[in-house]
Amino acid sequence: MTSGSRIAGAFRSGKLPLLVACTVAGDPDFARSVRIARCLAASGADMLELVMPFSDPVADGPVIQDAGARALSAGMNTDRLFTLVRDVRKKTEIPLLIMTYANIVIQRGIPRFYHDAARAGADGVVIADLPAEEAGPFCDAARDAGIDPILFVSPTTSQERLGRILSLATGFIYLVAAMGVTGVREGVAPETLACLRAVKLRTNLPVVPGFGISAPEHIRTYAEAGADGVIVGSAIVRIVGEYAERPAEMEEAARRLVEELTGAPLHMERREADAKS
């Protein structure tokens, strides 16, 4: 994470934990996807994660898989992804992340993908299926383009592998908070909280859990454990699917959810916890 990046600036804002709101690029179509992304930013999300739909989304649960299918059917592709990022960037200065799969990056050419992402206005790239052992060329290309490469850790990550991940990542560490694919979960696993605390002991990078986070009580639990942000995806993507034909209602439902998740008491509790530590 470079000291001048938008991502670094967001984590220095004092408003912790940050809300990273996730939506699928091109769902349900290009125009409405731009509208929902801008709505999330205007409603108080601290970062946006735009998921590039993929034909074989091994990390995605059924809600995001369905959204990806809608987006692909509506014509989403890599060129249009960067156009979408550019259109969203016109209306917001919050950090924009792209989540994608390694094959999409490789097909475009690794250096070209990151430079195109940077020119469009993206700040970070997350590659869902990129193992740490193969991440070097991607991270090098990201840094050359001025992009933060965001890497995953999980409760099953070995200490040796964690060290390699921490040596490569910038921006923040994406903590896989629930094993398996994306999707809403009922609660927070104790092993995830233990992993969060352990990772924070080994790095100054922010640590941000994602997968399965959908409710204020989840965020309170992570805030108390020291999370610097949380990523909420399926709960937002489900709204897009439910209201796909009613854009005004879609935006209102998304706005209400973001406002609920970014309520002042959540951030107040985190600041109080930091003061006591």
Which of 27, 46, 49, 251 is flagged as catalytic? 49
The angle formed by the CA atoms of residues 222, 226 and 229, to the nearest 5 degrees, is 65
Specify whether 191 is catalytic. Answer: no
Q: Supply the DSSP string of 178-220, one letter for each residue.
A: SSSSS---SS--HHHHHHHHHHHTT-SS-EEEESS--SHHHHH
**Torsion angle, CA of 251/255/256/257, rounded to 10 degrees?**
100
Distance from C-alpha of 210 to C-alpha of 231, rounded to nearest angstrom? 5
Specify whether 224 is catalytic. Answer: no
Distance from C-alpha of 11 to C-alpha of 180, rounded to nearest angstrom? 28
Which of 60, 87, 123, 251 is flagged as catalytic? 60
Residues labelled as active-site residues = 49, 60
